[in-house]
Homo-oligomer: A and B are copies of this chain.
Amino acid sequence: MGQVKESSTNFENRKIMNDACPEVYAASILGTQWTLAICSYLILGKHRFGELRKKIPGITERMLTLKLRELEQQQIVKRTVFAEVPPRVEYELTKIGKDLAPLIAQLDAWGRKHKKLVNSTKYA
């Protein structure tokens, strides 16, 4: 829950759902734009900031920064800064981050299946 106003109805609603339903909580973490793409690359291994930016088409530096910071706060990603010039920062998944792998595989499988279904019925 990035920048949610604690006074908003939206905040209340999410809080209640997230507290009551772990699956909703998990989906709300993974379902925002760019987040899962980043995780998918990090599952393949450690990446520098610039590497991620190059691999993820269309992402801006701002968005990449925001999402990485969010993932870091959520303890899904670990950030390591090297005291060099020019700077070098490496990102890698934490233990729980790595635990996403089978979940991502399932999402992938269901996604393929669904896409296939929808496309096959689109013009039927």
Number of interface residues of A (CB under 8 A): 51
The interface residues of chain A, by DSSP majority, are classed as helix
Contacts of A25 in B (CB 8 A): 111, 114-115
A88 at interface, CB cutoff 8 A: no
CB of A62, distance to nearest CB on chain B (Å): 13
A65 at interface, CB cutoff 8 A: no
Q: Top 9 nearest A-B pairs by Cβ distance? A: A31-B31, A22-B111, A26-B111, A23-B107, A23-B108, A26-B107, A13-B58, A25-B111, A22-B112
Segment of A33-41, A44-52, A77-85 in the binding face: A33-41
Bound Cα distance from A22 to B108, whole angstroms: 5
Apart from the given pairs A13-B58, A17-B57, 14 other A-B contacts in the complex at a CB distance below 8 Å: A17-B33, A21-B108, A22-B107, A22-B112, A23-B36, A24-B40, A24-B111, A27-B30, A27-B31, A27-B35, A31-B32, A74-B114, A102-B106, A103-B110
Bound Cα distance from A58 to B13, whole angstroms: 6
Contacts of A67 in B (CB 8 A): none
